[in-house]
Amino acid sequence: MDGQRFSIAGASYDAQDPRLQEALARVHDGADRPRCLCVPDGVEMYVARHRLYVVKRMPGTGGQHHPQCPSYEPDAQQSGLGELMGEAIVETAPGSVELRVDFPWVRMAGRGVAPGEPHDPGEVVAPRRRMSLRALTHFLFERAGFNRWSPAMAGKRSQGVLCKHLLEAAAEMTVKGQPLAQRLYVPEPFSEASKAAAAQRRRDKLAILRPHDGQSPLAVVLGEFKTCESTAFGRRVWIKHMPDVPLLIADKTWERTRRMYAAYFEVQDAGAGYRPRLVMTALIRAKREHVYEVDALGLMLTSEHWIPVEGAHEIELIHALVTQQRRFIKPLRYDARSTASFPNALLIDAGPEPVALHVVSAFAEEKERAAKIEALSRLGPAAWVWWTDQAMPALPAALTGASDWRGQVLGRAERASGARAPAEAGNLQADAGNANGT
């Protein structure tokens, strides 16, 4: 199932139907809601507007969609998302998400926190969970659909697609009362012909970092790490598609980064035959006009197709799934201390329910490996498990006759909803970067 079909005000529309935008415009501000026809009874959706009108998943309904539907979302407990929903991630309304983070949006120049007077507290307050820069990156990638894959996405995940869909995802999020999209910069695809105009747009976007009233505002830059070089005054970090402006970083900060993410840097040097990416999420402030300094940063490893992974063992699994043209979802870690209980991937083309795929790395730390083995012991002998010191077992077979199945489901759904089919069906194809249901 490479696309979606919607029932809107009694008519049905393919996701690529040229009439869809007009239909969505009519119901955007009204009480009528589209229904996704991936299952016989349909699933209620809502309409958002970016550059175009987009049909999106209602909060809490991801599991009601068919696994092959772009709007399907697995149980949050199968990833680190489950620990954050309701506390660090609060969906206040359809298309509106409040994020509670553990990093600031502003630094105060020359001011410390004044100590309070000793006193007996009048109440005990339970600490609320906050999300890190890594968790923020994972949430953006998941909402933009980059943790899922279908064969139609091959060759279509460019820097332009990354930029477009990450910013669209951020448009629905607020952090500390501020729209995340105003504080998030994702580099545009670099072009020699348009570099001056792109640089001006970047300066305009990062003008929000100008200090005022003794405060230094902060913003987030998210892009693919290129290199880091030494200078007489520290180091400069270069991000791909930003060749004209490095980010300054203190030597000690970079040394801690290299130690913390040593395994990721090592994977980049591995001779596996495919190229992983290292994505940097940097919290920055303006040191002076158009000079930006890193306040904090996090790194995320991805496959060459921008699918987030935890290490080389997962890259090999993802590479096999892509090569065999499978459809799957990659559960993400967020801020979970351990990923042992999470599937390393979820196959969504092998039947009416997702199939969990688990990997046990021969190079995992002893504690993590033991936790993974314990989690697997609760799943039973039928679970799909790849021990990386052995050959990868055959993947569960993909569902045959997918097109016939899709037609049968849509036919039942349209009859149940009373929708009428359009005169001509559009070309069904998954969007290159967005799951179209996040």
pLDDT tens-place string over residues 160-182: 999 999 999 999 999 999 999 99
Instruction: Give the residue numbers spanning the domain of 319.
Output: 313-387
Q: Is residue 43 part of a domain?
A: yes
110 vs 437, residue with greater confidence: 110
Q: Is residue 429 part of a domain?
A: no
Helices H, strands E: what count in the chain? 10, 23
To which residue do tokens 């699918």 refer?
307
How confident is the model at residue 435, as a pLDDT? 39
How confident is the model at residue 110, as a pLDDT? 57
Q: Tell me how many domains the chain contains.
A: 3
For the chain, give the percent of residues with pLDDT over 90.
69
Residues 170 and 51 in one domain: no
Residues 169 and 280 in one domain: yes
Q: What band does 304 get if pLDDT is binned at 50, 70 and 90?
A: very high
432 vs 54, residue with greater confidence: 54
Residues 176 and 292 in one domain: yes
Residues 216 and 277 in one domain: yes
Q: Is residue 280 part of a domain?
A: yes
Q: Is residue 162 part of a domain?
A: yes
CB-CB neighbours of 326 under 10 Å:
21
- Arithmetic mean of pLDDT, 405-426: 42
Contact (CB, 8 A) for 335 and 84: yes
Residues 269 and 161 in one domain: yes
Q: Is residue 116 part of a domain?
A: no
Is pLDDT above 50 for 427? no
Task: Count CA atoms within 13 Å of residue 79 on its CB side.
Answer: 23
Contact (CB, 8 A) for 363 and 390: no
Is pLDDT above 90 for 403? no
- The region of weakest confidence among 31-40, 79-88, 285-294, 309-318 is 31-40
- Arithmetic mean of pLDDT, 65-83: 92
In this structure, are strands 277-288 and 247-249 parallel, antiparallel, or unpaired?
A: unpaired
Written in H, E and C, the secondary structure of 170-216 is HCCEEECCEEHHHHEECCCCCCHHHHHHHHHHHHHHHHHHCCECCEE
Q: Is residue 432 part of a domain?
A: no
How confident is the model at residue 95, as a pLDDT? 85
Residues 169 and 290 in one domain: yes
Residues 180 and 291 in one domain: yes
Contact (CB, 8 A) for 239 and 279: no
- Arithmetic mean of pLDDT, 280-301: 96
> pTM of the full predicted structure?
0.85
pLDDT in tens, 340-387: 999 999 999 998 899 999 999 999 999 999 999 999 999 988 899 999
To which residue do tokens 């997962």 refer?
314
Q: What band does 51 get if pLDDT is binned at 50, 70 and 90?
A: confident
Of 292, 308, 324, the position where a domain reaches its end is: 308
Residues 302 and 319 in one domain: no
How confident is the model at residue 126, as a pLDDT? 62
Residues 41 and 90 in one domain: no
Candidates 1, 5, 72; CA nearest to 36 is 5
Of 291, 308, 325, the position where a domain reaches its end is: 308
Which H helix or E strand runs over 436?
none
Of 250, 278, 308, the position where a domain reaches its end is: 308
- Arithmetic mean of pLDDT, 193-209: 95
Q: Is residue 394 part of a domain?
A: no
* SS3 state of residue 357: strand
Which residues lie below 8 Å from residue 124, measured CB to CB, with a gap of 6+?
Answer: none
Is pLDDT above 90 for 413? no
Residues 38 and 12 in one domain: yes
How confident is the model at residue 418, as a pLDDT? 46
Beta bridge partners of 231: 234
- Arithmetic mean of pLDDT, 78-84: 95
Residues 303 and 326 in one domain: no
- Arithmetic mean of pLDDT, 195-213: 95
Q: Is residue 120 part of a domain?
A: no
Residues 227 and 352 in one domain: no
Burial class for 173, CB neighbours closer than 10 Å (0-12, 13-18, 19+): buried
